């Protein structure tokens, strides 16, 4: 039995050369994925940050627990001998993505594609924006797609499906991302339609069930690491708690309801398809789909699985549905390879000549797609994503007092905890995660009631009832810091009864060079109007190079809330550019934009103490207090 119905011919079956082609394709994809990986933590607003700290703690990821992935990233965080810990964890995604791309070459050959057509299918998947984006951060989806590809390889085995590999890949999928169950209809149809498959299944169903169930032992990771728990503290290490976590019952609401109010029409999916596949690849996929209808087992193993995954992705109303379309993108890429094969075979009847035509077509299509792939590279490239790391190190290298409490959303606290635990920066500072403003306000009141110094990571409505100061990137609440020294900074009048001092300090740490404008507001009489600060970096020709506008104290402390007698420390960060010569500080009214005061400070040169990526240490920024 042949899955595709292709007649045997020259190069119709994968051999040693195909493995070398697959290896070369996988290594090429790996180079791209590693090149675009972030050097450390890239963002605080997705699951990749959670997985990095989970790997370091050997903690429990969010439901359904992903035990196979948790073990792999935990081992990577400790055993990979180079790179920052977050980079090592992301490397698992890059390796899984590259392996998937390589296996697509083998899968295409087993389905009867010529080498050029199989290579085109692999390249189409490798360069799809969502797949590439998932292959360069700590996420679960490339490993999931690798297991799906192994399952499809098992179904494409000749002369009958390799049910042992199918059972093992399905079991591993159940221990990782349970949407592998969406391929159950494909498995069922293949078993029903193949008489030889049914005979083999009757003889070995007990062994196959055992082999498929064996990987579920990975879920023992949850109770074994239950004393560590999840990062949000929601995991309960009880039989019912483990069961609820594994079943992911909290996520069923995204199938039965629409809690995020997601409304996606045809235009959303059209835009998604445009990002993932080129018009030419889409046209070839449509052609391949029409032609492939004559091969029913391809429909069972590929098209049915693609449709099942697509229907789930449409009905699953989460904020990032694109990742659930990846199995469908994989199948579409294979169909695009079939389309290329169809074109080649319609031009000539000889199989060997058709392969040559497909190779010529591939050589033409690749240069045509280079601009598109270059744009995808620019979109997914995180190799210079230092913002999150710079924030964490800037915050934890400030002169924070003992017993200090930093309050922010869970992602921000996870970021700080990562640098506390992995790099040993200020482990004494307590972090409190509260995702709603009411909970953050309650946490502030509780900490202040205990006499603890409190700092915020972001503006908080209601906090202006206390005196606020900028402490680097943080916001100090009702600060008891030492009084500001007069120093030698010039005093500039702003309004009647309001003055300001200004200094510029270079900032150390990773990423692009930055400089911090440090302002000290001296309030004798609070201003009647809300004021904003504009910091404008200029070159020697007075050309503006960069500009930052904000309300005082990181947009957290409007001037209309100031009290008489306050001395308020403020900070505004701007880039440090080689041709930036001066900083113009303009203070203006927020309602009409009219300037009330301005002065000029010398800009700093883009140089700073070296950053030690291994220890995560850097010099603290200069402060007025």
Per-residue pLDDT of 488-543, as tens digits, reads 678 999 999 999 999 999 988 888 889 999 999 999 999 999 999 999 999 888 88
User: Which domain-ending residue is among 380, 412, 430?
Assistant: 380
Do 475 and 360 sit in the same domain of this protein? no
List alpha helices for 58-84, DSSP H: 67-79
Do 545 and 624 sit in the same domain of this protein? yes
Gap between the Cα atoms of 622 and 620, Å rounded: 7
Do 317 and 456 sit in the same domain of this protein? no
Does residue 520 sit within a domain?
A: yes
Do 330 and 257 sit in the same domain of this protein? yes
* Per-residue pLDDT, 351: 65
Q: 537: closest CA among 525, 547, 549, 552? A: 547
Q: 280: closest CA among 288, 291, 290? A: 288
Q: How many residues does the chain have?
A: 625
* Per-residue pLDDT, 327: 96
Does residue 529 sit within a domain?
A: yes
Gap between the Cα atoms of 90 and 135, Å rounded: 8
Domain that residue 509 falls in: 482-625
Does residue 256 sit within a domain?
A: yes
Does residue 215 sit within a domain?
A: no
Gap between the Cα atoms of 434 and 432, Å rounded: 7
Do 323 and 366 sit in the same domain of this protein? yes
Do 390 and 539 sit in the same domain of this protein? no
Do 174 and 115 sit in the same domain of this protein? yes
Does residue 234 sit within a domain?
A: no
Do 305 and 433 sit in the same domain of this protein? no
Q: 6: closest CA among 359, 361, 345? A: 345
State the residue for tokens 């070459």.
105
What Cα–Cα distance (Å) separates residue 63 from each residue in 70, 230, 242, 459? 12, 9, 10, 30
* Per-residue pLDDT, 202: 67
User: Which domain-ending residue is among 480, 502, 519?
Assistant: 480
Do 319 and 369 sit in the same domain of this protein? yes
Does residue 431 sit within a domain?
A: yes
User: Which domain-ending residue is among 480, 499, 520?
Assistant: 480
Here the tokens at position 455 are 């700092």
DSSP state at residue 468:
E
Does residue 405 sit within a domain?
A: yes
CATH code for the domain of 393: 3.40.190
Do 364 and 403 sit in the same domain of this protein? no
pLDDT-flagged residues of the chain (< 50): 1-12, 482-486, 609-625
* Per-residue pLDDT, 621: 34
Is the Cβ–Cβ distance between 336 and 120 less than 8 Å? yes
Secondary structure, 3-state, 191-224:
HHHCHHHHHHHHHHHHHHHHHHHHHHHHHHHHHH
Do 373 and 507 sit in the same domain of this protein? no
| pLDDT single digits (tens) 297-320 | 666 678 899 999 999 999 998 888
Do 488 and 469 sit in the same domain of this protein? no
Is the Cβ–Cβ distance between 134 and 93 less than 8 Å? yes
Does residue 50 sit within a domain?
A: no
* Per-residue pLDDT, 8: 41
* Per-residue pLDDT, 17: 85
Q: How many domains does the chain have?
A: 3
Cβ-proximal residues to 75 (8 Å cutoff; 6+ apart), any chain = none
């Amino acid at each position: 039995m042949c899955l595709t119905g292709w007649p045997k011919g020259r190069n119709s079956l994968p051999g040693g050369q195909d493995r070398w082609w697959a290896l070369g394709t996988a290594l090429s994809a790996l180079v791209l994925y590693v090149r675009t990986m972030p050097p450390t933590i890239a963002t605080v607003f997705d699951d990749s940050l959670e997985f990095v700290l989970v790997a370091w703690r050997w903690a429990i990821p969010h439901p359904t627990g992903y035990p196979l992935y948790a073990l792999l990233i935990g081992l990577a965080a400790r055993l990979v001998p180079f790179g920052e810990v977050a980079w090592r964890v992301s490397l698992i995604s890059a390796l899984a993505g590259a392996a998937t791309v390589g296996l697509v070459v083998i899968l295409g050959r087993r389905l009867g594609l010529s080498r050029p057509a199989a290579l085109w299918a692999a390249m189409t998947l490798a360069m799809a924006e969502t797949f590439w984006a998932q292959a360069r951060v700590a996420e679960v989806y490339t490993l999931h797609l690798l297991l799906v590809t192994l399952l499809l390889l098992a179904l494409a085995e000749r002369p009958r499906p390799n049910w042992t590999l199918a059972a093992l890949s399905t079991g591993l999928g159940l221990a990782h991302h349970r949407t592998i169950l969406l391929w159950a209809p494909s498995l069922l149809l293949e078993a029903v339609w193949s008489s030889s498959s049914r005979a083999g299944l009757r003889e070995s169903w007990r062994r196959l069930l055992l082999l498929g169930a064996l990987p579920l032992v990975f879920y023992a990771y949850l109770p074994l690491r239950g004393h560590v728990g999840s990062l949000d503290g929601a995991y309960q290490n009880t039989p019912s708690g483990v069961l609820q976590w594994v079943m992911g019952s909290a996520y069923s609401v995204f199938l039965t309801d629409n809690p995020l109010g997601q409304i996606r029409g045809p235009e959303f999916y059209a835009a998604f398809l445009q990002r993932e596949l080129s018009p030419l690849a889409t046209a070839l996929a449509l052609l391949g789909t029409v032609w492939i209808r004559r091969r029913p087992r391809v429909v069972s193993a590929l098209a049915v699985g693609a449709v099942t995954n697509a229907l789930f992705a449409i009905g699953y109303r989460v904020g990032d549905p694109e990742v659930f379309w990846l199995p469908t993108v994989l199948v579409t890429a294979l169909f695009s390879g079939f389309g290329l094969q169809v074109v080649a075979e319609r031009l000539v009847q000889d199989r060997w000549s058709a392969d040559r035509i497909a190779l010529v077509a591939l050589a033409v299509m690749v240069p045509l797609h280079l601009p598109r792939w270059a744009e995808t590279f620019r979109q997914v490239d995180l190799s210079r994503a230092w913002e999150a790391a710079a924030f964490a190190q800037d915050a934890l290298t400030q002169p924070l007092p003992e017993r200090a409490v930093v309050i922010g959303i869970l992602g921000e606290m996870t970021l700080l905890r990562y640098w506390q635990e992995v790099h040993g920066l200020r482990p004494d500072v307590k972090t409190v995660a509260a995702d709603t403003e009411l909970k953050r306000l309650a946490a502030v009141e509780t900490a202040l009631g205990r006499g603890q110094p409190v700092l915020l990571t972001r503006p908080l409505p209601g906090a202006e009832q206390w005196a606020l100061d900028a402490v680097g990137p943080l916001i100090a609440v009702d600060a008891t810091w030492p009084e500001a020294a007069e120093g030698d900074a010039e005093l500039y009048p702003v309004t009647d009864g309001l003055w300001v001092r200004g200094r510029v300090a270079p900032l150390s740490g990773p990423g692009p060079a930055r400089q911090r404008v440090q302002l000290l507001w001296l309030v004798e009489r609070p201003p009647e109007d809300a004021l904003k600060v504009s910091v404008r970096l200029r070159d020697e020709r007075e050309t503006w190079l960069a500009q930052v506008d904000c309300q005082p104290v990181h947009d957290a402390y409007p001037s209309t809330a100031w009290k008489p007698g306050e001395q308020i420390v403020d900070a505004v960060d701007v880039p440090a550019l080689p041709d930036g010569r001066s900083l113009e500080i303009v203070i203006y009214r927020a309602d009409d934009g009219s300037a009330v005061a301005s002065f000029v400070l010398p800009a700093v040169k883009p140089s700073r103490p070296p950053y030690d990526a291994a220890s995560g240490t850097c010099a603290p920024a200069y402060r007025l207090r």
